[in-house]
Amino acid sequence: MNFLERVLSNYFLAWSQIFNYTDKTSRIPFWHFFILDGLIGALISVLSNNSLTNNPNDFYTVAPFYNWSILYSIPSFLVFLALLTRRLRDIGKENLVLWVFCSFIPFYNIYLFSQPSSEK
């Protein structure tokens, strides 16, 4: 399996386990989802943003396009929470609620999720 197939496989695997909070996720599937999801989210956000209708000084313009990034980001965030919880479980962290909140600290989360799997 080549690199692109592995990335896509891990991305769709994360989406198929949207409500799985009990298993473990290793580093590579976590980062494959994280990076590809960020790229897809940025692409959807750029494509759904229409600069003509987002003029803050024009109150009477009816937007002909919908901001599709909102429709993608909500389920994507739910997948990310499940993946985050499984990754913290794989690292061996106890008190997962506290660690989920700590994982949203910028740059610390990169350090946290790059930790190797625990032997527990």
Q: Cβ(34)–Cβ(87) under 8 Å?
A: no
| Residue at 104 is within a domain | yes
102: containing domain: 3-53+61-113
| Distance from C-alpha of 57 to C-alpha of 60, rounded to nearest angstrom | 9
Least confident of 21-25, 42-46, 95-99: 42-46
Q: Is the pTM of this model over 0.85?
A: no
Contact of 30 with 83, CB cutoff 8 Å: yes
Residue 119 is assigned to a structural domain of this protein: no
Residue 27 predicted with pLDDT over 80? yes
77 part of a folded domain: yes
Count of domains observed in the chain? 1
pLDDT above 70 covers what percent of the chain?
Answer: 83
Angle, helices 68-91 vs 27-48, to 10°: value is: 170
In a domain, 102, yes or no: yes
